[in-house]
A and B are shown apart, each in its own frame.
Chain A
């Protein structure tokens, strides 16, 4: 048996003869199981495509495709097993493993176990003190055991017997505490109630739940059987293949989680972008309708000549440009302006600060920590403070500008600077986006400073020392040594800041309260804010998903360009 293979059948040694029949019989049973599973999937597909089950088009499509895949996969695995194909074992294992997880999820759903997980946090409140006591008691026992082990160590043969007695007593006290707190815990948690509730949930749909349990047992047996060393030998699995299989198995919980909770919703949003859907009622397939509606552009000589449903968004020398969704284009123009302003604001000051920090003056470590605070502070909380500071009448920012103006007016005749200052940072469409830029730049530059600082630590000191010997000043060294050496770091900082900027939502959301998001006059409407508006305020989840995918393509394209330029530069140098 390979060292990387787990002989699952060893776990089932007790009823061994039943659970561990000869290899040929085992394979036959698994093949039969695959046929049964394929028939089950075929039955589902028949009910779906034969419209026996009345489902909306979207779930019908998803379940139908899933059932079809199930048929093909099970039959394929069965055929490979019958032919003793080397891939048969892994095909069977994979299909059954995934089906097992699927059936467990179905049982989970049928018993409504998610509602128990919902209350997971509440359980900590209910039995918090006994739990803490139990944890401390366990730690106590561990400490007592280690103490006793040290005292009985041969090197410490002269340890006083009293200490040994104390160590033993500590251990017993710990065990007593474990029993005490454990009982208190169980008393508070009422495990019999758990069993009762689970029993009730099971009995509510006993036939279906029993079928799930039978399927789980059968699948589990098939999975363990196919994973066993004897099957690996039977199918001539190489050591590399076994190692890779073990790797995949260990990776599978994470991979399945990723597929279910990240890739799944991602694909779902792609699918839903081809539907008109309010999130509640049945979705309607509209093909590329949402994309056309979002991106639709038309050019005409005058605004009146634009097709119906198009609004003019730009007057160019060659005519008027109209859009079927002007708000989307407004969000794009906003985000472009935002990028142009916010990215330099988040990057350049960070670079300058990193250089200053690198000088090693007293207190630089403290400043480095302080600069990092915005990166770890809660965005919503911080933005709410900024919102107060940016208030046009009682905010600190206008007060400060007014104070500076006052000083200037003291020295310049004619009082040229206005007072009081009432810049509508959050209410004037011409400046509202700058307020967002300011808050974004402030929230990002600290983290970028730390990145630049880390990058600078990788620059060999010898380079600077040699340049100094050659008479290069600090400015020359910055532009000739520091900046070129930081190219990779700068690329990362700019790329990540651009991606964050394109995904801008939370700052706008918090700054706009109590006004609608995108206020004023859509001046702060970004693509993500717009898709939020579409989805959650106008119940247009299909179009919101289309906007999300357009944004994804935009971000992906920009990042790809940045990566290629960086790679080309690296190759050249």
Chain B
């Protein structure tokens, strides 16, 4: 029995060795991050240019960890493949890709925890609305020196996101000498259509109406009502409750979330109120999936005619086999265009030990080739202003009418933006509560107009 015990002990020791030894091959990246944690963010930024020369001179491979939030497993696999390809391309980067989200651990929560602990990856993706908070807290690197050294051109990317990524936190205004990241991709809203339901209701085809310039708010309400009235158990339209859905009608009505310099609330302006009043009326008509209900299940079940959602919903829609579907642009309001331009950016951890290599990775991840590969999966639109990228994107069908997304991007969109002079999460929470109260009938539109900017004032303090 003693020999067996020795054997078991041997196995245990070997197991322990395996745990440690296997890390030996890929642990240097972790070590790099760990030692990076010790360096001060500000000094890292300041010394970025100086260290650039020595790094450039070095031919050694730099180990980096990077992270982005994939929308599905296929995308996660693709990102992993891209990471391996960049490593194999011989540009001096040895990459470790982390998907970063799981069922029990949302991407943002995990990232913030790691940033707090100093163990976040060298390069990571964040939503556009978070850029200001991260930059102001000193969590992400101002990569302007690296961008200048590499010949980075901001004009290659859509202006909406890029403008927000070149803001001086002290003034909240775009300024030279600031590059907080590069947009990974962009997206817009479109209307996902159940063509069979629309046909069954005898309603006009939104795609045709859009082509003829007749796809207006009123037509949208009319088609919705027709579907809800004429098809048993069906609903005309559906949207989820988060800010962009009702926000489109605010923008499209000629209003906006914020004043011109984004230092105060503008949701009480007559134009904003007009948009919200129309939106409230849509729900009050009973033609829609009730406000706050997830509209995706009824759309996939084939009982919803029109569903407002972004490009990220396309992979899910492609699984639909029970009915014919396509997309159309959002209906036009008093202010033409005004679809959202959603974006998120790759940013460099302020505590990275290798700022130049990290920037090199950001550029590699936002190259035309990589963006095309990712957008081919359907969930993303390239963030580069590049006709070739758009042409490629149009071929990634279904939906047949990909042009609806491109129109959204090109027709005077409103870029979602961080609040450089305020606190976006606080604004989101306060405005969301008020809009929910409005949509569920707890308060009237007049009461909303009186209270909304008071309720959100705390976000600008």
A residues with a Cβ closer than 8 A to B are 112, 114-120, 122-124, 126-127, 131, 134-135, 138, 141-142, 145, 178, 182, 185-186, 188-191, 193-194, 196-197, 200-201, 204, 278-281, 380, 387-388, 391-395, 420, 422, 424, 426-429, 513-516, 519-522, 533, 536-539
Contacts and interface: CB of A to CB of B under 8 A. Distances in A.
A393 B293 contact: yes
A14 B108 CA distance: 56
B233 interface: yes
A182 B240 CA distance: 56
A185 B14 contact: yes
Given A126-B22, A515-B292, A391 B109 contact: no
B440 interface: yes
B442 A429 contact: yes
8 A-B pairs with the lowest CB-CB distances in the bound complex, closest first: A115-B30, A427-B292, A193-B24, A123-B22, A189-B21, A112-B34, A116-B23, A119-B23
A119 B17 CA distance: 12
A43 B252 CA distance: 65
Interface stretch (B196-204, B294-302, B409-417): B294-302
Contacts of B241: 427, 514-516, 519-520
Contact of A280 (B25, B137, B289): B137
Given A123-B23, A391-B297, A427-B440, 16 more contacts: A126-B18, A141-B7, A178-B7, A188-B22, A189-B22, A197-B27, A197-B28, A280-B112, A280-B138, A392-B293, A393-B233, A393-B304, A514-B240, A515-B292, A519-B241, A519-B436
Interface in B237-261: 240-242
B4 A145 contact: yes
A119 B27 contact: yes
A122 B22 contact: yes
B17 A194 contact: yes
Contacts of B8: 138
B19 interface: yes
B18 A516 contact: no
Contacts of B113: 279
B116 A280 contact: yes
Nearest to B137: A280
A122 B436 contact: no
22 contacts: A112-B31, A123-B18, A123-B20, A124-B18, A134-B11, A138-B8, A141-B3, A145-B3, A182-B14, A186-B14, A190-B25, A194-B24, A278-B137, A280-B115, A380-B104, A392-B293, A393-B304, A513-B294, A520-B291, A536-B108, A536-B112, A538-B423
Contacts of B433: 521-522
A185 B233 CA distance: 62
A521 B436 contact: yes
A537 B425 contact: yes
B429 interface: yes
Nearest to A171: B3
A197 B31 contact: yes
Nearest to B301: A394
Contacts of A194: 17, 20-21, 23-24
A538 B35 contact: no
A297 B28 CA distance: 54
Given A123-B19, A197-B31, A392 B4 contact: no
Contacts of A422: 290
A391 B291 CA distance: 12
B442 A521 contact: yes
Interface string B429-461: 100110011001010000000000000000000
B426 interface: yes
B156 interface: no
A388 B298 CA distance: 10
A115 B4 contact: no
Contact of A426 (B21, B25, B30, B293): B293
Contacts of B133: 539
A429 B290 CA distance: 12
B273 to A, nearest CB: 20
A394 B109 CA distance: 32
B303 interface: yes
Interface in B282-316: 289-294, 297-298, 301, 303-304
A515 B291 CA distance: 10
Interface string B28-45: 101101110000000000
A390 to B, nearest CB: 9
Nearest to A182: B14
Given A115-B23, A394-B298, A516 B432 contact: yes
Contacts of B22: 119, 122-123, 126-127, 188-189
